[in-house]
Amino acid sequence: QSALAQPASVSGSPGQSITVSCTGSSSDVGSHTSVSWYQHHPGQAPKVIIYDVSNRPSGVSARFSGSKSGNTASLTISGLQAEDEADYYCSSYASSSTYVFGPGTKVTVL
């Protein structure tokens, strides 16, 4: 069982916006700004798309955005495109220099 909770799957049509939630606790998401999101196409190396709750690395599309409220972080993908179909994982710094992850959310573009 993962420390962070994510929906198993989220789907949307091309051009729509979708949001993936990531719920933790006051020991991780709720008390740290080191919340990050990763896109993983199976067979490829995972890629960071959001760090520090809402920052995008250079080269990542502005269609990806992140936010946090209390113990829940969220990833929003706007203007959904076919290439966005992938698995998305959230991660948070936790106590004692450890990290926790969510189980992943499969995003499907209909």
Partner 1 sequence: QVQLVQSGAEVKNPGASVKVSCKASGYTFTSYHMHWVRQAPGQGREWMGIVYSSGNSNSAPNFRGRVTMTRDTSTSTVYMELSSLTSEDTAEYFCARELGGAGYFDFWGQGTLVTVSS
First to last CA, the chain: 29
Structure tokens at 33: 């700004």
Residues 93, 10: Cα–Cα separation, whole Å: 25
* Interaction pattern, residues 71-90, with partner 1; x per rule: CB under 8 A: ------------------x-
Q: Quick check: 64 binds partner 1 (CB under 8 A)? A: no
Structure tokens at 26: 């006051």
CB of 35 to partner 1, least distance (A): 8
Q: Quick check: 70 binds partner 1 (CB under 8 A)? A: no
Residues 99, 45: Cα–Cα separation, whole Å: 19
**Interacting residues toward partner 1 by CB under 8 A:** 1-2, 4, 32-34, 36, 38, 44-48, 51-52, 57, 89, 91, 93, 97-104
